[in-house]
Copies of this chain bind each other. A is one copy, B any other.
Amino acid sequence: MKAVKPTLLGYTLLGLLHQKPASGYDLRKLFAATPLMSYSSSPGAIYPALGSLESQGLIRSTVEEQGLRRRNVFRPTSAGTKCLRTWLLQPLTTEDVVRKIDSVMMRFGLMDQVAGREASLNLLRGFEPLLAIHVAGLQRFLDDNGSAMNLSGRLALESGVRSYKGLLSWSRDAIAEYERAGKRGKK
């Protein structure tokens, strides 16, 4: 078995297709219409990415001619779904928190549908302590070096610290929300 490792965009497409089969054009519209992500809806990004997923056997396309123009509708293969799950369920690393937040949030956003609520809650429970550690480190750096920096530099750094603090409190709220939803579900 060969190593198959889509890019973040690839995984994202895979996740979206898992939620609902779609054509390249559908996906482009989706990217353009939702603030979900920082991706561009450019065809030069999406069509090649779909092509590469298909050539790796992770998605399959079927042509639909339903009265209108020809549409190339993609859906994940079982290998694709498996690959997606593996990516989603991968344990979180410090590196993920420090430099790949986008990827983490994307994984989380797709998680419910593909891997279930248990898994989502699990991810959050791993996320929170890693965030707490990182926030503490940033705060420490700011305390140590802030006074030696010029105002705009210090404020820029502060904005980064705040943003991680916000994420930390978000993660706590999100855990609480899952726990509430879980209780309701079991009643």
**Identical copies in the complex:** 2
Which listed residue, B36, B99, B137, touches A38 by the CB 8 Å rule?
A: B99
B152 touches A163 (CB 8 A): no
Asked if A108 lies at the interface with its beta carbon under 8 angstroms from chain B, I say yes
Q: Which residue of B lies closest to A171 (CB)?
A: B159
Interfacial chain B residues near A108, Cβ < 8 Å:
152, 155-156
How many whole Å from A37's CB to the nearest CB in chain B?
9
Which listed residue, B120, B141, B153, touches A112 by the CB 8 Å rule?
A: B153
Asked if A174 lies at the interface with its beta carbon under 8 angstroms from chain B, I say yes
Interfacial chain B residues near A62, Cβ < 8 Å:
none
CA separation between A40 and B98, bound complex, in Å?
11
B170 touches A159 (CB 8 A): yes
Q: Which residue of B lies closest to A38 (CB)?
A: B99
Q: Helix, strand, loop or mixed for chain A's interface? A: helix
CA separation between A51 and B106, bound complex, in Å?
35
How many whole Å from A89's CB to the nearest CB in chain B?
13
How many whole Å from A125's CB to the nearest CB in chain B?
13
Number of residues from A at the complex interface, CB < 8 A = 39
Which listed residue, B117, B138, B151, B181, touches A35 by the CB 8 Å rule?
A: B138
Which listed residue, B35, B120, B137, B155, touches A152 by the CB 8 Å rule?
A: B120
A174 touches B157 (CB 8 A): no
CB neighbors of B among A106-160 (8 A): 106, 108-113, 117, 120, 137-138, 141, 145, 150-153, 155-160
Taking A109-B155, A110-B152 as known contacts, 20 extra A-B pairs with beta carbons closer than 8 A to each other, sorted by chain A number, are A35-B137, A35-B141, A35-B160, A36-B157, A40-B99, A105-B159, A105-B160, A106-B156, A108-B156, A109-B153, A111-B152, A117-B151, A151-B177, A151-B178, A151-B181, A155-B170, A158-B170, A159-B170, A159-B174, A162-B170
